[in-house]
Structure 1
Amino acid sequence: LFGLSQTLVGGLLGSLAVLGTASPAGSATPRPATAAISVRATGLQVGWSEAGFLAAGVIGLLTLMRRHRLQRLSAGSVVDVPTDDSEQWERRLRSLAPEPIVDRLGVVWRAASCAAAQGSGELLGALTAPDGAVTVLFRTDTLPMPPTSPSGVLSAPDRWVYPGTWRPEPSADAARGPAPLVNVGRCGRDALHLTPSMCHRLVVDGPEAERDRIVESLRFAVEVCETLVAPPPGPDRQRTSAPAWVLSASESDWVLNPLDLVIVPIGLERHDIAAVRALLAAGAGEAGAPDVLPSVASDSLEPELLLHLSAPTNPDTRVEPLPPVLPVWSFMVRLLGPVDVLAFDGRVVAFERSKAVELLCWLVLHRRAATREAARTALWEADVRDTTFANVVSEARRALSRHLAVGTGDDWLGKPRGEHLPLHIEVVSDADLVRAHTARATWFRSNDTSLARVVPELRSALDLVRGAPFIGSGYGWADAEASTSNLTLLAVGTALDLGEAELALGNVDGAFAATSVGLAVLPGHEELVALRLRTHASCRDSAGARHEWQMYLRSLVDDPWQSEPSPWLKELARDLLSDPVTA
């Protein structure tokens, strides 16, 4: 992970002979320099607003980096809150990523790759249309005849056209993921993509300033693509012997030959690329280990939600401090799994607007700094009308009140006091309750030598974990501000604590059950895998331990980066397994 991220974010582009800037082969003299093209005036280059495929690649890579980072963090670690600039960039990129067409391009590309391989065809790129049609371009100059097109696909000598209505055969490989393609620019309403190997042979010929901007943008796009779907650039990178393609500027547009395609190439500002690199660097960075566990850290839980009863002040009367008191709640906003709002009577609250639920999710995580402006910025990418925001706030308030009346003169979601949006003390999140239970477990552990009262608290905490945080919600702000990462670590840490306690009590089934919950939230977390290996070893189940290890190694093979387990985990497996460990 860190080697790959350093390749990406370190700007080591000198060895990437990605794009040439020389004149096309065969021209007698270099192209004469013409007047600089005004990008804003002529629109001859695509900026971030239309580079949705690259934005999707960046978000995909960021997600992959974060998952690898979380898998190797110890329980009790916390992820730093991103800078405002990084958070804004992530939200912007998420708003640009065209997910459906990105997924469809991946499906079509895999199907075309399988079909072309039967005829030794080499795929070079693709065009994606707004209606879902995908045109796959392939090389035919070395073939006696083009490969046979799949059923339902329109064929031409050098391309296949997959209509928007085309679907893969039910028996086809169901693998998902992005296609190994680089978004080069627009061709009319279509988006043009080339393979990284073709980009390495692409010659850009035009006015120096615009040429350099295009080259730098495409280099970055190639880096993102190669890091996301393939090993890092190096001597083993797949090469192509196809003739070089030339992207040349005319007085009014850019033309890609030999296809004779008029395109609007991607051209990003250098400072924007630097900002996105910083975002990716933060996603791959190390987390800090706090001096105290998050469950008892002063800022991890609102003071009014975790109360300690005061001890008598009489110095002659020595009474041990009492354990933390669980918060009294009427509504629980559930974040650890599918998002909803649960009332104390066990019924799920019905909302007419999904944004009202999202607002409550945001509010329980920002109780101290919940302002109207901050909420609007998080929940809407674009400016939203005052009336729209007011209606969402009113719907959240009404839905809670319809379910359960609040005391006279009070509101579950108070009327705004200036910019502040006050949330009632009895509206809490499941994460608040998890932290409260784990804080009580910590207190009992430090004041009692037995685990008899620790385990019930940790079980109650883990019972609140129903899956990965915000699963299925698509809340971009939660990822951008590291809420998803920190809630994931909270769930994994709770599972790990309970698993360790169960194992200490000799409850093997309880240890396996706890770690299963944690691995469902974050597959491949190394400390959870290690605990399961130790649990197998505790009952002398060498076959079970070996099976556990093989399943973990298989998950690494399925990983896009095929990462290796940490040295300490390999050493543990060597100690616990009778056979040598081979990855």
Structure 2
Amino acid sequence: MSPTIGRVRGAPRRVSRFCASVLLLLAIGIGLPAVALETARRRFGSANPLSGVDPPWSWSVGDALSAPLADGTVVDALIRVSVIIVFAASLIIVVTTIMEIVHLVRDGGLHRPRPTGLGWATALGRYIAIGLLVVVPLASPKVAVASATPAVMNLASDAHPVVTATALDNGVVETFGHSASIGSSGAPLSGQASAEPQRYVVQRGDSVWSIAAALTDGDNEATLNVAERILDTNLQRTMNDGRRFTNPALIDIGWELMIPADVGGLAPSSQTADSEDGADAFPLDGATSNDRYVVAPGDNLWDIAASHLGDGNAWTAIWDMNGGDTMVDGRTFDDPDLLVAGWILELPARTASSPAGPAADPAVVGLDPTPAHADASSGADADRVADPTDTPSAGHEAAPEVEINEAPNRVPQAEPPPDQPVEPEEVGTSSSPGHESQRGPRTPDTTPTPAVSASAAADSSDRASATPTPAASTTTSSVATVDVGADAGAATDAPSTGSTSPLRLEHAAILATGIVALVGVRRRARLRAATPHSRMPKSHEAHAATERRLRVSDPGERLMRVDIGVRAIAAALPDDDVRIGWIELSADGDLRAQLTGDAALANPWVGDRSRWTLDAAIPIELLAQQARQSNMPCSALVHIGVTDDGADLLLDVEACGQLSVDGPAAATESILNAVAVGLASSTYAEVANLITVGLPESALLHHRNAHCVADLPSAVNRAAAMAPHLPDGRSTFGLRARRTGGEVWEPTIIVVGGDHGTCALDTPPPGVAIVIAQPTKAGDERRPDEISSASAQLSQTERGWELRAFGSHRSVVPTGVTANDLADVSALLNHCATPTDEPSDLDDLEPQWHDATPTDDATDIELDHAIVVGLLGPLTITDDTGTPATFERSKTVELIAWLATHRERSTRSGGRSALWEIDVRDSTFANVVSEARRGLARLSAPPKDSEWIPRTLSDELPLDTRVVTDAALIEHRLRHARVQPPHQAVETLRPAVERVRGIPFSGTNYLWPEAEGISSQLILLAITAASELAGHALSLGDTELVFWATGRGLAVLPGHEELVGLRMRAYARTGDLAGVRSEWELYEQVVTADPWSDGEPAEKLVELRRELLGSPSS
């Protein structure tokens, strides 16, 4: 865009708009109420419109309805109502204007969502707010459209569509076809051809307003128009991560927003601010550089290295830097021969000795090689706008001829003009090799360098053909390339394999949730058996990192919809001939069930007879009554992948009978691992028999009914021996759904990895299913009759992975668990089952939560403190009197809790890594720290000449020692009570146990407490305090105190063996044997309620029960 376009609305126009908004605000806020008041005063003798009106309790409604109405009465009523409406409307508009101004300033120019029913007030308030702010720069930084390329390609013909990538703020817009420019109103400039919508990849710090501002050079009115058009185009769309865009104020990193064609394609502007139009100037923020590249259709590593590093052999450096990374679409870059359009690669810096990349020929790529500051006489197009103040802009250049070359569609990335400034990245956010901040697992940085993909120069193709290169990559994009050489026909007719890697474990929310649940069960089993004063075994950072990966994704309440929906369908199906084949669960909660046959629809399901759909808007409560009539009928329901529209697909492998997984060996192995892990971590398959062939034993996660055999015939024989005997004409689906015979009718699932057979197997008996791998090698062509015997196939096609079963098919990206992921999960589960460490000498125990040295001085029983961070229960921050602190940001409370539990390694980088899974701006973290300082200071005055969170010039972020946790206070009293007699120890421990309010961190969803073992340590501390107090109370004969103390502990961990034993002894002490039996039954219920539990009680409690009740038969 030319700078003149951005300056059309200069200072005079802004002042007039400001004056109009002020006058309108005065008229609405003061003028109309004044007129209403004067009208009421003249009519009623008082400004109060209700003056002279009798109170409601004295009204005679009957007389008023029966008596004739006088004209004066009607006029009075109209005037009173009108005055009240004018006052209310004025108040609403003024309040709306204030809220709109605050929202615009705080959120970088983004408007508030329109509240239902108040659109009229929002429109007026928005108009006034924009006018008031039009002369005041917004508080948030504005971003200029800055590019490393001096112009953007304009195509002269529609016949040869190519892909361009334009730097927009700190993101990338992929444009297919023509580029268009916009005027100040957000409409396309005359003479610019419209094209298909562009795609913009949302980057860190983006908002809809900032994206629109970058497309309009910051003109507020044009920005408003463009922002609203972007919202109109994208609201309610399902984004590429499966979530739906429903809140205009919330866009997530990696989302692809569609930019309307007639407002996108803006050329970079080199406009600079002048003193008059300073409000129009957008300072450069995070200008893109040559260390990012957006993969275009047809790219390969050799050509990228040749174009941008000057040497095709440098492709190995790009692979070393990016290999194994998780890309923006969730896939892993694990094959140098496979690039997917839209991936963002990090490029190593060009060395001084590296030859310069091939210069882009403007006749080929449509780039103006002249720098933006060049004089018009130095080669600028004659068709540009003749404005002496205008800088060159692609929006005003004549479209050059597009040359069709004989080389594959490769284009080097244009170098930035030598005089273009590139501001350094934010401190601590460098993503260059060797300079990553210590913020936990690396997340994909989607800030690309602008890369223009079109036909490459001929010398680039000649050099590429003369040197051995990695195999040409194939992409999932369907954008056509243009080749007219001798091999053009073969090139365009060759099908794209569309091969994609399976989704990583952390991107499969349902599978990860099952593993996390299994981790929790094993942790609880270990903690129940722990004795007082036990310590958790030392945790390794690798275990914490694995658990954080698993906890990142959370399906929330969607799994409940699956459970209730499946049960409701089973209750509605009339017979055993039709069962559920698979379930699709969208990010919004839409439930789609594919049946194995036709069945009449039941309310509130819609669709056809074989595919039932439950809209997300329908509450599951409507299905509850029907769902109660059925058990869970699909014991082998396993997460198989994500569909092309972002829905999770759960497949009932038992319904398939045989499922063949056909694809590359590495991919099929990871998919089979995912199926085995998914079954072993599914609560539905808790009673299923699982048999594996050719898979690691750890793939079944030590499932209670796991069997590993050497070959397929042995597996089939064992499955046949385990298969339940079914009544004639009945299926396990129907028997389980109707609770027939009180049996579970468990299925047997065989998972066969490697190359252990073919799909030409006999049909498995009822209740038995086989999932078998059919790995293929490069160039291997499988005959149709070799894969047709399987009743269901998950196979890789030229379009990607496709599931075919039950007379239907679905494109999916399957879930995979690599060997490394499987080893990490297995190590985490083994660590969770490791028994706690029992101390040999309590006096040698080092304090975990404070550094105080215990003494016998009674005055030192309470640890010196001013502020208490409550962890045992809902997270609280109070002063020493119990007054709670208030904070605006939830992250502030989490940061204080993290600092209080990580005193030995309390650093800024560590806190950022724990609190955010993505890299956040320094300003964001600084705001959280500042609010923590202010909030703590408001709660309690900090020490003189200091702060509760002292300021440092290093990475350290310490917390004052007088800010303590409730765990530190409890531990301090425990150390004192250890050397005290029982009656004194009771007085010491009672306040400590009173601080035990519930499960640690209850009501939060923080990732770090469980992953780092902090929650388990807090549970052990609470159990120790409760059991110590209960033990002393029992020795003093105070059974009421025993029940109170143990009740506090059991609220933290139900079924703890030590606490249950104390309660049983207390009941026996009072002669209440019924209480002993009741306590034993409650304990058994807790043990058997855990999934994957064998229901076996602890041996020491069995012996105690036998001792207290007097005989084994009691």
TM-score category, normalised to shorter length: 0.7 to 0.9
Question: 1:374 Cα deviation (Å)?
Answer: 1.1
Counterpart position of 2:100: none
Q: How many angstroms apart in 2 are the aligned matches of 1:551 and 1:195?
A: 35
Worse-matched range after superposition: 273-282 or 229-238: 229-238
Q: Does 1:524 align with 2:1072?
A: no
Question: 1:347 Cα deviation (Å)?
Answer: 0.8
CA offset digits 1:339-386 (Å, max 9, x no partner): 010112321011111111111111111112211111111111111211
Counterpart position of 1:551: 1082
Question: 1:523 Cα deviation (Å)?
Answer: 0.7
Counterpart position of 1:279: 828
Q: For 2:1097, what is the secondary structure of its paired residue? A: coil
Counterpart position of 2:1037: 506
Instruction: Give the alignment of 1:140-289 within 5 angstroms.
Output: 140=597, 146=599, 149-169=601-621, 172=625, 181-189=637-645, 190-195=647-652, 197-198=654-655, 201-225=658-682, 229-230=686-687, 232-233=704-705, 235=722, 237-239=746-748, 240=767, 244-258=791-805, 259-289=808-838
Q: How many angstroms apart in 1 are the aligned matches of 2:975 and 2:994?
A: 16
Q: How many angstroms apart in 1 are the aligned matches of 2:893 and 2:633?
A: 31
Q: For 2:557, what is the secondary structure of its paired residue? A: helix
Counterpart position of 2:922: 386
Q: Does 1:50 align with 2:507?
A: yes
Conserved 8 A contact 2:567-2:633 = no
Could you say if the C-alpha distance between residues 454 and 410 of structure 1 is closer, same or farther in structure 2, counting changes exceeding 3 Å?
same
Q: How many angstroms apart in 2 are the aligned matches of 1:420 and 1:177?
A: 52
Counterpart position of 2:585: 128
Conserved 8 A contact 1:500-1:531 = yes
Counterpart position of 2:528: 71
Q: Which stretches in structure 1 are left out of the alignment for 5+ residues?
A: 1-34, 310-319, 445-449
Question: 1:215 Cα deviation (Å)?
Answer: 2.0
Q: For 1:54, what is the secondary structure of its paired residue? A: helix
Could you say if the C-alpha distance between residues 399 and 61 of structure 1 is closer, same or farther in structure 2, counting changes exceeding 3 Å?
same
Counterpart position of 2:954: 418
Conserved 8 A contact 2:854-2:975 = no
Q: How many angstroms apart in 2 are the aligned matches of 1:399 and 1:323?
A: 30
Normalized against structure 2, the TM-score is what? 0.45
Q: How many angstroms apart in 2 are the aligned matches of 1:177 and 1:198?
A: 14
Amino acid corresponding to residue 650 of structure 2 in structure 1: H
Could you say if the C-alpha distance between residues 509 and 200 of structure 1 is closer, same or farther in structure 2, counting changes exceeding 3 Å?
farther
Q: Does 1:571 align with 2:1103?
A: yes
Amino acid corresponding to residue 261 of structure 1 in structure 2: R
Q: Which stretches in structure 2 are left out of the alignment for 5+ residues?
A: 1-334, 341-474, 476-498, 689-703, 707-721, 724-745, 749-766, 770-789
Could you say if the C-alpha distance between residues 504 and 268 of structure 1 is closer, same or farther in structure 2, counting changes exceeding 3 Å?
same
Q: For 1:257, what is the secondary structure of its paired residue? A: strand
Q: How many angstroms apart in 1 are the aligned matches of 2:1020 and 2:571?
A: 39
Conserved 8 A contact 2:673-2:818 = no
Amino acid corresponding to residue 1047 of structure 2 in structure 1: S
Counterpart position of 2:1070: 539
Q: For 1:443, what is the secondary structure of its paired residue? A: coil
Question: 1:238 Cα deviation (Å)?
Answer: 1.4
Normalized against structure 1, the TM-score is what? 0.83
Q: For 2:1043, what is the secondary structure of its paired residue? A: helix
Question: 1:389 Cα deviation (Å)?
Answer: 0.9
Q: How many angstroms apart in 2 are the aligned matches of 1:80 and 1:178?
A: 40
Q: For 1:362, what is the secondary structure of its paired residue? A: helix
Q: For 1:467, what is the secondary structure of its paired residue? A: coil
Amino acid corresponding to residue 129 of structure 1 in structure 2: S
Counterpart position of 2:241: none
Q: How many angstroms apart in 2 are the aligned matches of 1:129 and 1:581?
A: 54
Conserved 8 A contact 1:329-1:426 = yes
Bigger helix fraction: 1
Q: Does 1:474 align with 2:474?
A: no
Q: How many angstroms apart in 2 are the aligned matches of 1:549 and 1:457?
A: 30
Q: How many angstroms apart in 2 are the aligned matches of 1:196 and 1:233?
A: 17
CA offset digits 1:388-433 (Å, max 9, x no partner): 1111111111001112222331111111341211211211110000
Conserved 8 A contact 2:570-2:633 = no
Question: 1:578 Cα deviation (Å)?
Answer: 5.0
Question: 1:168 Cα deviation (Å)?
Answer: 3.0
Q: How many angstroms apart in 2 are the aligned matches of 1:453 and 1:63?
A: 37
Instruction: Give the alignment of 1:407-486 within 5 angstroms.
Output: 407-444=943-980, 450-486=981-1017
Conserved 8 A contact 2:679-2:685 = no
Could you say if the C-alpha distance between residues 176 and 299 of structure 1 is closer, same or farther in structure 2, counting changes exceeding 3 Å?
farther
Question: 1:505 Cα deviation (Å)?
Answer: 0.6
Q: For 1:368, what is the secondary structure of its paired residue? A: helix
Q: How many angstroms apart in 2 are the aligned matches of 1:157 and 1:353?
A: 49
CA offset digits 1:150-202 (Å, max 9, x no partner): 42112533332121122234764799999953110122122111235357732
Q: How many angstroms apart in 2 are the aligned matches of 1:302 and 1:178?
A: 52
Amino acid corresponding to residue 644 of structure 2 in structure 1: G
The match for 1:360 among 888, 893, 896 is 896
Could you say if the C-alpha distance between residues 211 and 451 of structure 1 is closer, same or farther in structure 2, counting changes exceeding 3 Å?
closer
Instruction: Tell me the number of residue pairs that the alignment of Structure 1 and Structure 2 aligns.
Output: 525
Q: How many angstroms apart in 1 are the aligned matches of 2:854 and 2:811?
A: 70
Instruction: Give the alignment of 1:105-120 within 5 angstroms.
Output: 105-116=562-573
Q: Which has the larger radius of gyration?
A: 2
Conserved 8 A contact 2:1046-2:1063 = yes
Q: How many angstroms apart in 1 are the aligned matches of 2:1038 and 2:574?
A: 53
Amino acid corresponding to residue 820 of structure 2 in structure 1: H
CA offset digits 1:446-496 (Å, max 9, x no partner): xxxx41101111111101111111111111100000000010011011111
Worse-matched range after superposition: 461-470 or 40-49: 40-49
Q: How many angstroms apart in 2 are the aligned matches of 1:541 and 1:97?
A: 46
Q: How many angstroms apart in 1 are the aligned matches of 2:678 and 2:967?
A: 38
CA offset digits 1:35-60 (Å, max 9, x no partner): 99948664352223531211111112
Amino acid corresponding to residue 792 of structure 2 in structure 1: W
Flag the structure with more relative contact order, 1 or 2, with Cα contacts below 8 A and sequence separation at least 6.
1
Counterpart position of 2:716: none
Q: How many angstroms apart in 1 are the aligned matches of 2:633 and 2:1033?
A: 41
The match for 2:939 among 387, 403, 407 is 403
Q: For 1:375, what is the secondary structure of its paired residue? A: helix
Q: Does 1:377 align with 2:923?
A: no
Q: How many angstroms apart in 1 are the aligned matches of 2:511 and 2:853?
A: 48
Q: How many angstroms apart in 1 are the aligned matches of 2:632 and 2:893?
A: 30
Conserved 8 A contact 2:654-2:768 = no
Amino acid corresponding to residue 185 of structure 1 in structure 2: G
Could you say if the C-alpha distance between residues 491 and 393 of structure 1 is closer, same or farther in structure 2, counting changes exceeding 3 Å?
same
Amino acid corresponding to residue 101 of structure 1 in structure 2: R
Q: How many angstroms apart in 1 are the aligned matches of 2:519 and 2:976?
A: 35
Q: How many angstroms apart in 1 are the aligned matches of 2:551 and 2:988?
A: 38
Counterpart position of 2:845: 297
Q: How many angstroms apart in 2 are the aligned matches of 1:199 and 1:66?
A: 35
